Amino acid sequence: MKTTRLAWVLVPLLFFAPPAGAHFQVETPPKHEDRLIRFPDVAGYQTLVVDLHTHSVFSDGHVWPSIRVDEALRDGLDAMAVTEHLEWQPHRADLPHPDRNRAYQRTQEALPKGSELILIPGSEITRQAPADHMNAIFITDANALLQAAPNPPKIEASTPEERTLLESLPEQLQQDGVIDYFMAANQWPAEEAVRAANRQGAFVFWNHPFFSRAAPDAMARMTDFHRALIEAGQLHGIEIANGAYYSEEAHALALQHGLTMLGVSDVHDLIDWDYPPRFGAHRPVTLAFAKERSADGIREALFAGRTVVWFKNLLIGQEAELKPLLQAALGMEDTAYRDDLDVLDLTITNDSDADIQLRNRSPYTFMQEGDDLTVPRHGKLKLSVRTVQRLPQVELEFEVSNALVAPKQRLRLSHRLKVGE
């Protein structure tokens, strides 16, 4: 039998395993049992909640695609994509599916009749550094993104280091030919797979750049490989939040290179295990500001960069998208001075799923709250503002502590209200 040398670093099991501590942990149950993810529309656009990176048993996930559909409906998602690894197939002995479109087809079959959930076809191009992982969504044929022989040659170690490395991998993966297949599929250049996706009109984004064997310090860094794809117009987005992690460096790369910012669950197990709603957790999602509620509307919004990431109650995006969203979510009502004091009473409302954290940056004193406020999700906060004298209008300025327009840079909001309106 023909053999192939283990000529470069091969630790797929370690590389693809979920990072330690990926599960959400909290100490007290939440006050709200409603798990639907809801954010308001903004002027001219519909705010669509999407998760564009999930897995099932058709690659290295642990659930059938129908579970992903059920979870998306429970979370109130507008759209989702099941993006299976093309090259990494640890279940290939049990699910030797030659058609890489099969997971998407099974997802479509699981969609309840009359459901408005938008299913987006996609796949994950899975390689070693520097290419690492990239998702291609809105594809028409996943098979065109893969070139690998169905029965690749067996890998043989030729040095002590290679033998040690091969022996460290689970025997079952070797017996099932998983590693051989992965190595054979990697012989086709990653840039060719990306070109194939672009020929189908795909939106391609860089997955978790902070988790790479080339970056043991978990720092996302631009590579010559990805820079060339960006310059060629073939890489369009980047995950700044994946699972339990947010990367300031990936956030900075998005801003520096004009890449669309994405937040994804990258879920392999159950959503309720990794992001238990009963404990107040939520999957990371991307809010896409679309002109219409459709796959084409989402695609256009992604290519235009109109997104905000929602991650562990943190909202991340460019000011052009983040500011209108917060302005749509926050409102002022019941503004009136007290009869006997120069104190303005008002109520701040919040029409979003985030607990919005505000820091007072105006010259006025908030008598009952201090300068740090939290307006609860889909709730209200009463405020007493000491203005020293009665004013016909008051301008309140806030820093939104959990809204980032750049790494460590919070969004500023101002609200001018006429008293009595």
* CB 121, CB 139: distance < 8 Å: yes
Q: Is residue 261 part of a domain?
A: yes
Shared-domain flag, residues 236 and 345: no
Proportion of the chain above pLDDT 70, given as a percent: 87
Mean pLDDT value across the chain: 89
**What is the distance between the alpha carbons of residues 297 and 53, in angstroms, rounded to a whole number?**
18
Q: How confident is the model at residue 1 (pLDDT cuts 50, 70, 90)?
A: very low
Q: Is residue 357 part of a domain?
A: yes
Proportion of the chain above pLDDT 90, given as a percent: 72
CATH number for the domain harbouring residue 177: 3.20.20.140
Beta bridge pairs of residue 357: 374
According to DSSP, the β-strands at 3-5 and 154-156 are parallel
In the predicted model, what is the mean pLDDT of residues 95-119?
Answer: 94
Number of domains, the chain: 2
Shared-domain flag, residues 238 and 365: no
Shared-domain flag, residues 251 and 349: no
Q: How confident is the model at residue 382 (pLDDT cuts 50, 70, 90)?
A: very high
Q: What angle do CA 75, 245, 103 make, to 5 degrees?
A: 50
Q: How confident is the model at residue 18 (pLDDT cuts 50, 70, 90)?
A: very low
- pLDDT tens digit string along 341-366? 899 999 999 999 999 999 999 999 99
CA 46 to chain centre: 18
**What is the distance between the alpha carbons of residues 208 and 266, in angstroms, rounded to a whole number?**
9
* Residue 320 reports pLDDT greater than 60: yes
CATH number for the domain harbouring residue 349: 2.60.40
- pLDDT tens digit string along 23-51? 433 333 343 457 899 999 999 999 999 99
| DSSP codes of every residue in 61-81 | -SS-HHHHHHHHHHHT-SEEE
Identify the residue with better confidence: 179 or 208: 208
- Beta-carbon contacts of 168 under 8 Å, excluding residues fewer than 6 positions away, are 11
Q: How confident is the model at residue 340 (pLDDT cuts 50, 70, 90)?
A: confident
Shared-domain flag, residues 38 and 176: yes
Host domain of residue 359: 325-418
According to DSSP, the β-strands at 380-386 and 365-366 are antiparallel
DSSP E strands in 190-242: the ranges are: 203-206, 237-242
Shared-domain flag, residues 238 and 122: yes
Q: Is residue 369 part of a domain?
A: yes
0.75 exceeded by pTM:
yes
Shared-domain flag, residues 302 and 339: no
Q: How confident is the model at residue 111 (pLDDT cuts 50, 70, 90)?
A: very high
Q: Which of 289, 312, 335 corresponds to the end of one domain?
A: 312
- Least Cα distance to 261 among 316, 320, 202, 204 occurs for 316
Q: Which of 312, 335, 357 corresponds to the end of one domain?
A: 312
Shared-domain flag, residues 142 and 49: yes
